[in-house]
Amino acid sequence: MIRSATRRLSVAAICTFMAAASVSLGAPAAGADPIYPVAATDPFYAQSAGIDDVEVGDPLDVRPMPPIAAFPATDVWQVKFRSTNSQLEPIAATTTVLVPHNRPVDGPLLSYQHIINALSPRCSPSRTLYETDPDLIIREAPALNVALQRGWTVALPDHLGPTAAYGAAKLGGYITLDGIRAVQQVPHLKLVNSPVGMAGYSGGGMATAWAAALAPEYAPDLNIVGVAEGGVPMNIGKMANALSLQPHPAFGLALAAAIGLEREYPERLPISEQLNEEGLQLRNEVANACTNGLLTAGAGKSAAQIAKTTDMMTSEEAWAVLDENSVELYPGVPTAPIFEWHSPTDALIPVDSIDNTIRRYCEAGATVQSELFPTPDHLSAAALGAPQALEYLDARFRGVPAPSNC
């Protein structure tokens, strides 16, 4: 790919691009080394020995969990499974499974990729549902209860992986697909022949879109009958180029994306080496934070404040990492029917990248229904499109042929 001189990678660009969205090695010995989250004390989350010999998607551990009042008449299970990181190396990942009492054997299975803006695994659904963020239940319970009342089993993967690699979008696709495989292999869940749907918005939509694009090659064994993806940041490199060095109220999320990408690509994106003392102090402060902590610590700050220089890298390798995590630039085309929705005036994500991606899918013969919801606000578009997304998936589960407006 030919790149223009304007595509100069800086810590400023990487730190800024995710302001729109959304095994521990301990603290680094030297300030320039990557920083990883504190290890979980719960042994369920430990990376399993002998994982090299396990097939992707195979369950490693399964446990029942206490019921959650927000989801009545629903059992809760957690499944640890073998997946892969962005380098195709084995990792152990987790998903939480909500099983309604009225579900039929081999009934619909929905993998719902929640928005996770965080640098700690404790901020992922398997733990926030019980420990750190009761607001998660308040925000998600209405839509999830619609699915549960219809007899759908719902899987909530921790799609940022064991190191909470926020920003590593392709990783989320692998984990989502392997989580579905794992859930279908747990005998007492009785989902082995279930039709599968996937859904998510914004950062969760990014994991969903990646899973849909990867599935034909990575997981052709899955019977994915429908995908609902909304507000997807389809090109994170374009987001990096578009944003400036000015202070931003959501800069903490931007810095989190830079730290998360460094965790996933420590040799290709050595972000910590480029931070000044203030930057390293802020990095250490947010290294185990969830959304509110990230926003509070980074409010009003900018990349220019925390970087040794505002343009320190011109690495083609580093830009390649951003490209590799941009669905717009991935050549694969989903074979499952897709419902896609977004605002035509969304200021937080590159809408032209969504349009380009959907156009490419349509030209390749994919079945896509793309809908616009006229609101300038990124998150309000999520609420406006959610009912139609649920109805779309319901029709796919019932075997109704998917519409297309390509």
- Give the long-range contacts of residues 240-243, CB within 8 A, separation 24 or more: 240/9, 240/13, 240/14, 240/16, 240/17, 240/322, 241/6, 241/7, 241/13, 242/350, 243/13, 243/16, 243/17, 243/19
Task: Return the DSSP state at 1.
Answer: -
Collapsing DSSP to helix, strand or coil, 302 comes out as: coil
pLDDT at 239: 80
| 174-195 per-residue burial string, b: 16 or more CB within 10 A, e: under 16 | bbbbbbbbbbbbbeebbbeebb
Under 8 Å between Cβ of 293 and 286: yes
Tokens 């990014």 correspond to 206
Which pair of structure tokens corresponds to residue 338?
């897709």
- Give the long-range contacts of residues 240-246, CB within 8 A, separation 24 or more: 240/9, 240/13, 240/14, 240/16, 240/17, 240/322, 241/6, 241/7, 241/13, 242/350, 243/13, 243/16, 243/17, 243/19, 244/16, 245/12, 245/16, 245/302, 245/303, 245/304, 245/310, 246/302
Domain membership flag for residue 270: yes
Radius of gyration of the chain (CA): 20
Rounded Cα distance between 205 and 343, Å, is: 14
Rounded Cα distance between 198 and 201, Å, is: 11
pLDDT at 121: 94
Q: Quickly count helices (H) and strands (E) in the chain.
A: 13, 9
Which pair of structure tokens corresponds to residue 366?
């994919």
pLDDT at 243: 57
Domain membership flag for residue 174: no
Check the CA dihedral 208-325-58-92 and report its sign.
negative
CB atoms inside a 10 Å sphere around CB 39: 15
pLDDT at 304: 83
Residue 300 domain boundaries: 11-34+236-323
The model's pTM: 0.92
Tally of domains within the chain: 1
pLDDT at 348: 82
pLDDT at 150: 97
Rounded Cα distance between 177 and 187, Å, is: 18
- Sheet strands (E) in 22-134: 59-65, 74-84, 90-100, 109-113
pLDDT tens per residue across all 406 residues of the chain: 333 333 444 444 455 444 433 333 333 334 578 999 998 899 999 988 889 999 999 999 999 999 998 899 999 999 999 999 999 999 999 999 999 999 999 999 999 999 999 999 999 999 999 875 556 666 778 899 999 999 999 999 999 999 999 999 999 999 999 999 999 999 999 999 999 999 999 999 999 999 999 999 999 999 999 999 999 999 988 886 665 567 878 888 888 999 999 999 999 998 898 899 999 999 999 999 998 899 999 998 988 888 887 554 456 888 889 999 999 999 999 999 999 999 999 888 899 999 999 999 999 999 999 999 988 888 899 999 999 999 999 999 999 999 999 9
Amino acid at 347: A
Cα three-residue angle 132-382-178, rounded to 5 degrees: 65
Using DSSP bridges, classify how beta strands 196-201 and 109-113 pair: parallel, antiparallel or unpaired: parallel
| 225-263 per-residue burial string, b: 16 or more CB within 10 A, e: under 16 | bbbbbbbbbbbbbbbbbebebeebebbbbbbbbbbbbbb
The CA-to-CA distance between both ends of the chain, in Å, stands at: 28
Residue 126 half-sphere exposure, CB side, CA atoms within 13 Å?
A: 28
Q: The CATH number of the domain where 295 resides is what?
A: 1.10.260
Tokens 């996770």 correspond to 116
Amino acid at 378: H
Domain membership flag for residue 249: yes
Residues linked to residue 304 through DSSP beta bridges, in sequence order = none
CB atoms inside a 10 Å sphere around CB 219: 20
Cα three-residue angle 115-65-204, rounded to 5 degrees: 10
Domain membership flag for residue 298: yes
Domain membership flag for residue 45: no
pLDDT at 6: 37
pLDDT at 7: 44
Domain membership flag for residue 21: yes
Under 8 Å between Cβ of 350 and 234: yes
Domain membership flag for residue 206: no
Domain membership flag for residue 201: no
Torsion of CA 84, 28, 95, 402, to 10 degrees: -60
Task: Return the DSSP state at 203.
Answer: H
